[in-house]
């Protein structure tokens, strides 16, 4: 896992370079559609959360996350003739995702596969495939396959945006920002000690970085065998914050700028006032002061920050697993390709 975290800057750079020329083809495929529907599970689902927010805030296209059981269990007849359906699977062999893509095609949708294997069943079934160039991933927890999926989401969203090149300069800086975060590891050891001191953890964020928060929560659960809740801070404030106390650690993920930063800083203050061990990722100086421990995020604007903002969380999870005497490469009861019941 540690080696694959370190491979991410090159993997993301390769993926961006390989997928950028597909923008015109993506734009042609999407032309005439009104909606975008994402289909995924696990880490891929978290990548799609970013894709949804970027499509809506940057490309001004409505998007949503699908419930695959509508296709695989209920066999619902839904008119998707005005919909671009994006099916995401690292292996491209998760049968539920492949079946949902086939169902979407039968309902009139235009389909895109996002996968790390261009020869997979998912890739063969789609109208167009965005192949992530992560290389082979051996550790069960997804790291470089996840961040290359984020790169694919950025290419997808920009391809249908009014100006497809508006984010290119910022996207070009992503690999260097990732490399710096991996090399410096600022705050990682302190964060690990804070998390090791408690068995209860909450992870929160909002907006374009909500998917990052959910991904870090998932990684803590599957790699460190901890029960973890991943929530938007808006949902946290609507009730769950009542159970937050000094026996819990909270990870708050924030961009360095943007409209949700102020609210996330307020949440960090509120959590710390409740005695919670508050670990911040990203943010600005005011956010850092609100947290007990802070790991700097990337120096990137909010629309592209998710491609690198997950890195401190990945480093924290890998180190915490080892601190707890666990094998981060092979969590208990998990395999690389997960199959559901359809």
Q: What is the pLDDT of residues 315-333, one digit of tens each?
A: 999 999 999 999 999 886 5
Rounded Cα distance between 256 and 260, Å, is 10
Give per-residue pLDDT as tens, 131-172. 999 999 999 999 999 999 999 999 999 999 999 999 999 999
* Cα–Cα dist 321/330, whole Å: 11
DSSP state of 116: S
What pLDDT, on the 0 to 100 scale, is given for residue 259?
Answer: 97
Q: Which residues contact 338 (CB under 8 A, 6 or more apart)?
A: 41, 42, 94
Give the strands of the sheet with 63-65, arranged side by side.
Answer: 63-65, 35-39, 83-88, 110-115, 128-131
Give mean pLDDT, residues 240-266.
91
In angstroms, the CA 5 to CA 7 distance is 5
Q: What is the pLDDT of residue 339?
A: 57
Adjacent-strand bridge partners of 113: 87, 129
3-class SS of residue 192: helix
Check whether 265 has a pLDDT greater than 80: yes
Q: What are phi and psi of 253, to 5 degrees?
A: -105, 125
On whether the CB atoms of residues 96 and 106 are closer than 8 A, the answer is: no
pLDDT of residue 236: 80
Query: Residue 215 and residue 308: Cα distance in Å, rounded?
Result: 13
> pTM, whole model, 2 decimals?
0.96
């Amino acid at each position: 896992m540690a080696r694959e975290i370190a491979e991410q800057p090159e993997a993301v750079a390769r993926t961006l370079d390989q997928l950028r020329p597909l923008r015109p083809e993506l734009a042609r495929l999407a032309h005439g559609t009104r909606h975008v529907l994402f289909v995924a599970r696990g880490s891929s689902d978290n990548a799609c959360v970013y894709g949804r927010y970027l499509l809506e805030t940057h490309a001004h296209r409505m998007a949503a996350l699908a419930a695959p059981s509508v296709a695989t269990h209920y066999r619902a007849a839904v008119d998707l003739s005005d919909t671009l359906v994006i099916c995401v699977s690292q292996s491209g062999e998760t049968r539920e995702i492949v079946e949902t893509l086939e169902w979407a095609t039968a309902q009139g949708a235009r389909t895109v596969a996002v996968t790390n294997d261009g020869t997979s069943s998912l890739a063969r079934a789609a109208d167009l495939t965005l192949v992530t160039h992560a290389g082979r991933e051996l550790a069960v927890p997804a790291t470089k396959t996840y961040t290359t999926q984020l790169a694919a989401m950025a290419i997808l969203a920009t391809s249908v945006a009014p100006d497809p090149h508006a984010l290119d300069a910022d996207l070009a800086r992503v690999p260097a920002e990732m490399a710096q975060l991996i090399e410096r590891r600022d705050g990682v050891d302190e964060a690990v000690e804070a998390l090791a001191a408690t068995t209860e953890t909450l992870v929160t964020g909002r907006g374009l970085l909500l998917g990052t928060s959910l991904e870090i929560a998932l990684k803590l659960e599957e790699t460190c065998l901890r029960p973890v809740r991943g929530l938007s801070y808006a949902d946290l404030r609507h009730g769950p914050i009542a159970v937050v106390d000094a026996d819990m650690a909270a990870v708050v993920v924030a961009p360095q700028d943007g409209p949700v930063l102020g609210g996330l800083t307020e949440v960090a203050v509120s959590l710390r006032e409740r005695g919670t061990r508050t670990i911040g990722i990203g943010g600005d100086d005011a956010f850092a002061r609100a947290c007990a421990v802070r790991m700097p995020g990337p120096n990137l604007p909010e629309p592209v920050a998710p491609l690198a903002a997950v890195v401190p969380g990945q480093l924290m999870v890998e180190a915490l697993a080892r601190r707890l005497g666990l094998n981060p490469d092979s969590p208990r009861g998990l395999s690389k390709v997960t199959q559901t019941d359809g």
